[in-house]
């Protein structure tokens, strides 16, 4: 099966005159349409807001597009907070969810008026030495155990380093209430990249029931529930995509079943769907520059794991299209590799593809989230450019490629002359 690309061979041939491969390419039209559909799915909730996880794609041009669509920022570090400030996101447009948090990160989050989401009960005492508590605070919940859906273990929260236990959540809410906090949020993330419409409604019901219990136990006002991320995308062409409208309806039903009878119909729903929002609307454009015929057939690209780490790090599948050969038979078996001195630097193993000739342009799909952002400089490899395919068909360079000068800029080489 073949996944459709949002860019053609003719467009790429035009792009490479200005932007040498490899580069990450983003589809503005697809991004905007997807965000609007997400907002439609949760339009039944008056306070709904999406907080885009900056870690997925930390580029201010992308963030500006999302800001124009009414999306906030989910930040986890000092630098991500600075990025948010740079595009004019402040106050409750920022959800600051971090762990093992340095003092200066909390200080900047407070300065920007962010909603702070504590990861651990000890952070309450740590924060008190830094700043006064704002009126609104969120806490991250980890229910422990395994998260099971339809008799299948989706993930194991008990193994995750994040969040309060249930007892700590009650204790933390009471402690924060004593310190003057008036409005509370609950946040949780139980499974990653799920391709099932049942995950979000199941998570929502767990959090809604927990919220009702905590309100009864502590008397606090729970202002919002953050369902975080976990709604995935179909990386493989045979996978069915999530229907976000059905997911939103499932969450609505749980809301009506649990929160409304408890007199909590004012609770706002927040999400942090970085992967769902952006992953399908980015791709890595690269060129075949070497072929090797030994015990296997290899195609070597000018991109490597430094440009897209997920296949090397997780064994993740990313679909590959050979531009201009979309209709050719998939009758060649290749390992598609980069040039790092690591044997796991492979974008595909034993992948059936059309015959690849040197100079062919390949598109590696679904790199719009956790693609460029996980890049690194191992082997002295330089990070690639990022390019935006605008709604009008024009392109814009939104991050230039690194140069050797960038690589050496933090080193003082004068001592070696």
CB 232 within 8 A of CB 195: yes
Cβ neighbour number for residue 56 with a 10 Å cutoff: 25
> Max Cα separation, the chain?
75
Cβ(300)–Cβ(290) below 8 Å: yes
Cα four-point dihedral sign 66, 71, 77, 80: positive
Residues marked active site are found at 341
Q: Where are the alpha helices (DSSP H) in 186-235?
A: 199-218
Which CA distances in Å does 47 have to 66, 125, 223, 401?
18, 30, 9, 40
Q: CB–CB of 379/16 below 8 Å?
A: no
Torsion over CA: 47, 201, 263, 189 (sign): negative
DSSP 134: P
Strand, coil or helix: what is 165? coil
- Residue 352: strand, helix, or coil: strand
Nearest in space to 226 (alpha carbons), one of 157, 146, 179, 163? 163
Can the peptide bond before residue 22 be classed as cis, meaning omega within 30 degrees of 0?
Answer: yes
- Number of neighbours of residue 315 by Cβ within 10 angstroms: 10
Contact 163, 145 (CB under 8 A): no
Q: Which of 278, 282, 280, 272 is nearest to 188 (CA)?
A: 272
Helices (H), 6-86: 9-15, 28-41, 60-68, 78-86
Give yes or no for a contact between 343 and 306, defined as CB atoms under 8 angstroms apart: no
């Amino acid at each position: 099966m073949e996944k459709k690309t949002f860019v053609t061979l003719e467009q790429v041939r035009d792009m490479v005159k200005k932007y040498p491969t490899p580069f990450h390419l983003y589809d503005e039209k697809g991004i905007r349409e997807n965000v609007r559909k997400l907002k439609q799915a949760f339009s039944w909730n008056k306070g709904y807001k999406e907080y885009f996880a900056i870690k997925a794609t930390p580029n201010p041009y992308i963030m500006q597009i999302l800001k124009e669509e009414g999306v906030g920022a989910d930040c986890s570090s000092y630098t991500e907070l600075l990025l948010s400030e740079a595009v004019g996101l402040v106050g409750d447009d920022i959800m600051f969810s971090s762990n093992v948090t340095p003092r200066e990160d909390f200080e900047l989050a407070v300065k920007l008026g962010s909603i702070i989401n504590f990861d651990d009960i000890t952070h309450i005492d740590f924060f008190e030495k830094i700043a006064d508590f704002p009126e609104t605070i969120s806490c991250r919940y980890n229910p422990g155990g395994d998260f099971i859906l339809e008799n299948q273990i989706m993930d194991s929260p008990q193994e995750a380093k994040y969040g309060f236990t249930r007892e700590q959540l009650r204790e933390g809410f009471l402690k924060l209430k004593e310190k003057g906090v008036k409005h509370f949020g609950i946040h949780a993330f139980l499974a990653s990249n799920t391709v099932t419409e049942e995950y979000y409604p199941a998570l929502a019901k767990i959090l809604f029931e927990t919220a009702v219990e905590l309100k009864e136990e502590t008397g606090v006002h729970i202002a919002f529930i953050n369902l975080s991320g976990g709604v995935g995308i179909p990386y493989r062409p045979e996978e069915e995509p999530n229907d976000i409208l059905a997911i939103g309806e499932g969450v609505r039903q749980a809301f009506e079943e649990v929160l409304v009878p408890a007199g909590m119909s004012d609770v706002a729903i927040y999400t942090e769907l970085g992967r769902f929002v952006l992953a399908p609307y980015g791709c890595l454009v690269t060129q075949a520059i070497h072929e090797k015929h030994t015990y296997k057939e290899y195609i070597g690209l000018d991109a490597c794991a430094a440009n897209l780490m997920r296949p090397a790090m997780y064994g993740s599948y990313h679909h590959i299209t050979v531009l201009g050969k979309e209709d050719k038979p998939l009758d060649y078996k290749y390992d598609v590799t980069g040039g790092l001195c690591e044997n796991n630097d492979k974008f595909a193993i034993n992948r059936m593809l059309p015959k690849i000739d040197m100079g062919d342009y390949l598109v590696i799909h679904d790199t719009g989230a956790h693609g460029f952002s996980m890049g690194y400089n191992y082997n002295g490899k330089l990070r690639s450019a990022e390019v935006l395919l605008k709604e009008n068909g024009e392109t814009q360079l939104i991050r230039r490629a690194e140069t050797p000068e960038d690589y050496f800029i933090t080193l003082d080489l004068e001592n070696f002359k």
